[in-house]
Structure 1
Amino acid sequence: MGVSIDDVAAQAHVSTATVSRALRGLPRVSEATRAKVLSVAAELGYVPSPSASGLATGRTRTMGVLVPFVDRWYFGHAIEGIDQVLRENGYNLLLFSLGGYVHGQKRSFTESMVRKQIDALLVLSLGLSEEELRQLHHTEIPLLSVGGPVVGCSGVYIDDGAAATAAMDHLLGLGHRRIGHLSGGVQDERNFKVPALRTLAYRTAMERAGLEVRPDWIAAGDFTVAEGVRAAVQIFDAPGELPTALFCGSDEMALGAMFEAQRRGIRIPEELSVVGIDDHDFSAPAGLTTIAQKPWHHGRAAATMLLAELAGATGATRDTLMPFELVVRHSTAPPPG
C-alpha cells in the first residue's frame, strides 16, 4: 500500500489538514512547518492525488464553486464573473452542482472537494449545515459565499432587506395600498435565506404603512418565470378585489406575473403595477421596473478576494455589501382611480 497523507501527518507531528495546506502552498502555515512537511513528504515518497503536480507547483490552481442550480440567471452571471477572474490569473474553476436545494438529505460534496484538492471554495446562495461547515473548516481552505448570507463564512451580496424595502417604497410612494407579493418558494432558511429576507421586508413595509397583509395576495413563485405565472394565477383567482400592485422577489417571477396579467387582459401599469428584483436580461425589453443588481460583479469581487487570501493577504475575505439601484421603467404607475 502506498504512503498516505496520514503517514506524512504522523511523522511530521501535524494534522492532515496542515499537511494538505503545506503541500498546496496555502496561507496560515508557518515556513518552518511547511519546510518540515515537504521534507517528510519527500522522504516518504508521498504523492498527493490526483497527481504529483501539487508538489511541483505548490497549488492545484483550482477554485471550487458550489451551486444549487446552474440554469438560473443569478448563478449563471455570477459564475461568469468568477470564471473570468480565475482565467485572468491562471486558475481553473471546478463546479459542484447540487441539482437544486436538497432538503433533509446528506450532501456528499465536501468529501468530493477534499478529494479534488481545490485551493478555495465559493458557495453561491446556499446555506451550509453545521457539519458541512465543520468539515470545510477542518480542511482549512478559504471559504466565501456569494449571493446571500451564509452563517459561518464571509460573503459578497446585496442587502436584500434594503433592496426589497426600496421596491416597496417605490410602490407606496406611487400611492398603492393594495400590494401583493410573489415570494421565493424555498422555505428551508438553512438552504437559502434571500427569499425570507425579501418577504420580511415586504411585510415590514406594509405594517409600517398601516396596511393589511392579506394571505390571499401572497404566493410562492420559486424564482422562475413558470412559477411566477402559477403564483400570479393563484392571486388573480382569489375571491374579492385584486391588488393594484405586485412586489415580486425576483424579475423572473415578475415577468411570469406580467405574462399572466396580459393573458387575462389586465393592463400594466394602468390596472396593475409590477416591480421585481435583479434586472434580468429580459427586464429592460419587457419594461419591468426593478431593483438592479450585478451578479457578474459579485462573482468577480468574490473570486478576487479569495485569490488575495491565497496570496497571503490578511483580512482579504470579508463581508461585502454590493450596490443596487431602483430602475424605473413602464411596469409601475399610480393606482387606478
Structure 2
Amino acid sequence: MAMDDPSCSCRFLLWFLCFVACVLLESAASVHSWCPLHPSLRQEAKFKQKTNKFWEYQEQSNTWVEISMPFNLMSCINDTCTKVGSIEQPERRHGRASISSQEEKDAEIDDNDQADRNDPVLPIRKRISLTRMSESSVWVTGQSGSIYERFWNGLAWVIAPHELPISVGYATATFIVNTTILALSEAGILYQLQLNEHAQPIWTEVIFNFEQQFIVLGEKTQSQAMHIRNGIVSYDGRKLFLSITNGSLVEVTELQPLRWTYHGHPPGGDVSYISDAGNARPGTVFTVSAKMGKCGAVLQETCMSSTENQDHHGKSTYGVKKQQRMSH
C-alpha cells in the first residue's frame, strides 16, 4: 500500500539509482587495480644511438649514400617540408676527447658493438625473424618469442597470433616451405602448423627419427645429436636446410611424408650458419664454421652434386660433394 504513494516511489527510485552508482564505482576501482597503466603514464623508453653510420636512398641515382651528421629528418606534404627530428653524432663516453679521424670514430663504434655483444638482452633479440608468405601475408617472430601473422583482409592489415604451446617454450624463427608453416623453438625442436579435426590450427612436432645409427659420408650419427640450432629455406622455397647441434647439415626435401638427407659437416669444420646461394649458383649452399683458426670463421662452399645416395627411407637422393673452396 505504501508503494502507491508517489513520494515513496521517488525515494525508492533514488535509492536504486544510488545503489547502481555505488556498484559501478566499485567495479571501476577494482578494474583499475589490475589494468596496466596507460602508455602515456609509463616511463617512456629512451632512444640510445649506438652507431654513426646511416644511409639515405636516392631515387635519382637508385643508390644508397652514406649521410653526414647531424642529419635532419624531414616530413614533406604537398611540397611543404618540416623538420620532425635529427640524427646527431653519438655522445662521447667516459669523458673522452672529441674524435677527429674516421678511423677513431669506427673504433669507437666497434667498442660499442662489443659491449652490445656482452649485453644479456642479446639472446632475446635473436628470436626476431620475418618471413614473407605472399603479397598479403607476413609471418613474424617477435622478441618475446611469440609468433603472429600480419595479413591484408581486403580493408586493412590485421594481426593473427599463432603462439607455440606454453610447454614448448619460446619460438626463435619461422619457416615457410611449399606453403607449409614451420616454427623452431629455443629447445631446438621443429614444429609444423596443421589443422585438427575441428579445423583449428595446432602446432605438431616434426620428429626426425635417428633411432638407428647410419653412416653417411663416413660418419656415424645418433639420435641425441638431432637438435636444431638454426635453419634456412632454399631460394626456390622447396627445401629446408638445418644446422644441428653436432655441427652437421640436414636437408629436408619433403614434409608430408617427412624426408630428409644427412649431409654431415665439412672436413675439419662444422656447420654453424647456412646461406643458400641458389639465386647465384644453383645447387650451392654456403656454410659458416664456428671452429675458427687464425683468420677467423671459415666459409665453406658446398655443392649439391649428382652423387647418388640412399636416404633413411631407401629413396635415392642427391648427396653432397665437398669442395675445397674456403675463405676466411
TM-score norm. by structure 2 comes to 0.23
TM-score between both structures, scaled by the size of structure 1? 0.23
Higher relative contact order (CA 8 A, sep 6+): 1
Asked which structure has the greater CA Rg, the reply is 2
More helix by percentage: 1
Higher strand share: 2
